[in-house]
Every structure is written in structure tokens, then in C-alpha cells.
Copies of this chain bind each other. A is one copy, B any other.
Amino acid sequence: MKLPFFLLALTTIAASAATRPYGLVIHGGAGVIERAALSPEREAEYRARLADALNAGYAVLESGGTSLDAVTAAINIMEDSPLFNAGKGAVFNADGICELDASIMDGRTQAAGAVAGVHHIKNPINLARDVMLKSAHVMMVGDGAEKFARSLGYEMMPNEYFQTDWRRQQLKKAQEKDGKERTAAQPGDYFTRTLRWGTVGCVALDKTGNLAAGTSTGGMTNKKFGRVGDAPIIGAGTYASNATCAVSATGWGEFFIRVGVARDIAAQMEYRGTPLRAAVAASLAKVARLGGDGGVIALDAQGNVAMEFNTPGMYRAAKLSGQPAVIAIYGDEAKP
């Protein structure tokens, strides 16, 4: 039987839509995460919260929502959880307060938004998204970013909302060790490395084939002088383009900025056709050669997933259509 052309075309589109993968990958930070240091109860909490974030994002995609909405939904859950270094539960800066950064990028339009150094925004990823969608700018910092938030009717949270006791303890320890690490050339010891834990991020691919990426963080414990890491830097911590991939990074931000990790991964795909996972590995190797460490999640338009890190562990999870969900923490678990 020969179908009329328009029916044939419809059939092809329907088949392609039916088989087109969608899904998301999330991370809750890379670092020195080892079984010995994590109690079974605490580990179960992390896995539960990662599952919540994954399911929230996946539900958006399954019901036909956009990758941008999925990224926001998943990150909001991790921002609201005290377990992760983003939103509530963020690390303390040297002045004893939580100071938050976030960025987001739309792979379809390459529109992007970022905020850095905000103190009163419950969900910084939402403000980054509003910078992208409701201003002519890409990046806003400090009081100015919060002034913009107020103009949009955001509730201003007291900084105490973000503060938790265990992060305050981390600050205390960090300040006792302060001054030991002077330059970017010094790799830092085991303890100072752990100060950089816990950024959260999400990359998503929706049913229409659009990619998006987002990252949210409190930065590093005891950070001084208005330090900004890679999380709010488009091209370093976050990048998305439908032509290549969506990337969110976590780790020692200074090195991720110097390599331009997120943009570097996309560039390898764009300019020499490197497959996603190999591109991620090559960029992380560059970070390592400079003396840094961390992890990356990435997703391309074909549904290929990367969850790579050169630290002992990374809180991570992935759910792609038609495949079982994966939730993992340690280095010896699956990197799906």
C-alpha cells in the first residue's frame, strides 16, 4: 500500500516523536565524598533528595514541559534542601553569611541569565532565569540583582533562612586553617578541597528536542572579597546549545573558569565532532592538568549522558525516557 505523501510525512514525524529521547541529569556537587565519612542515614537522605529532584524534573518533561522548566524544578528542590550547597544550606562566606550564585541557559535560543553575590533570594536559579527572560542583560551581581528581584515582586528572605549549623561548623574549621593557601598555583590539601563541595545543577532535554542547563551554588566556604566561582559564569559552569549539548559543572571553580569547561565541551563537539562523554573527559583532564578537580554532567540532543568527575564522589542522578533511573554518590558506582 502506498500512503499519500502527507500521511507518510505525518507517520514519520509521529515515529520520530515517539522514539525521540527526553530526560534529565542532575548533580549535587563533586568532592571528597567517601563511604567512611557518610552515615547510612545521611546517605539515604541524599539519595532520597536526589530522587525527589530527579522526579520533579522528569515529571515536567513527561507532561510535555520545557527543558528550562525541568531544570528549574529539579534545582529548586535541591536549593530548598539543607543537604546541598545552594539556597538553604549554602556554605558561609568569610563574613559569616550565605552568598549565592546561579546561572541558566536555553539551548534553543542560547539566551542566558546569571546572578552572583545575592543574600536574600530563596531560589537563585529562578532569579537567573528572570534575568534571562525579563531583562536586557545576562548577568547581574550583588545589591543590584536583588533590586531587580524586588522590582519583580520577589520575597526577600532573611539571610538566616539559608544558614545551617553544620555549614557554620565548616566555616569555623576553615577559618582556623585560613591563610594556608595563598595562590591559585597551590592545589590545596584534603581539607581545603572539601570547602568547594556541593554546587547543584541540572541539564535537561525535552520532548521537542530542546536542551537547557542550570547551576546554583553558595560557592566556597570562607570565600572572601566578593569571590565569584564558575557557577554563574556562562561558558564555565553552565552552557547549552541545541547544536551540541547542555553542561553543568561543579568543583574548584577557579580552574573551571580558566579552562572555560562548559563552553570547551560544546566546542569539541562543534568543531571536531567529539562524542559527548569523550569531550567531557578531555575538559576535565585539562582542569586536572592545571591542578583543579571537580565534576560535570552533560546531555546532548541524542540523549547521550555524561556524569564524569575526578574527585572521589559526586552526588548525581539521571533519568532518560525508556531507561531506568540512576542515582549514585561514590566513584565506584555507575556513571550511566
Contacts and interface: CB of A to CB of B under 8 A. Distances in A.
A137 B263 contact: no
A243 B271 CA distance: 16
Given A135-B225, A239-B260, A141 B140 contact: no
Interface in A216-272: 223-229, 233-236, 239, 253-254, 257-260, 263-264, 267-268, 270-272
Contacts of A117: 141-142, 144
Contacts of A111: 184-185, 258
A181 interface: yes
Contacts of A136: 181-184, 186, 254
A145 interface: yes
Interface residues of A, number: 55
Most chain B beta-carbon contacts within 10 A, residue among A181, A236, A259: A236
Contacts of A132: 184
Contact of A263 (B143, B145, B235, B253): B235
A288 interface: no
Nearest to A113: B184
A225, A228, A270, A272 — which one has the most chain B CB atoms within 10 A of its CB? A225
A138 B234 CA distance: 15
A290 interface: yes
Contact of A224 (B116, B148, B253, B268): B148
A139 interface: yes
A314 interface: no
Contacts of A233: 139, 233-235
B267 A226 contact: no
B235 A110 contact: no
Contacts of A42: none
A144 B260 contact: no
A242 B145 CA distance: 36
A138 B138 CA distance: 20
A263 to B, nearest CB: 4
B137 A184 contact: yes
Contact of A141 (B134, B226, B272): B226
Given A140-B226, A141-B228, 9 more contacts: A135-B225, A137-B184, A138-B253, A138-B254, A139-B229, A141-B226, A144-B224, A144-B227, A267-B271
26 contacts: A105-B258, A110-B290, A111-B185, A112-B257, A112-B258, A132-B184, A135-B183, A136-B182, A136-B183, A137-B228, A137-B254, A138-B258, A139-B227, A139-B228, A139-B233, A141-B141, A141-B142, A141-B226, A144-B226, A147-B225, A148-B226, A234-B260, A235-B257, A260-B260, A263-B264, A271-B274
9 pairs of A and B residues whose beta carbons are closest in the complex: A144-B226, A267-B267, A271-B271, A235-B260, A148-B225, A144-B225, A260-B263, A139-B228, A141-B226
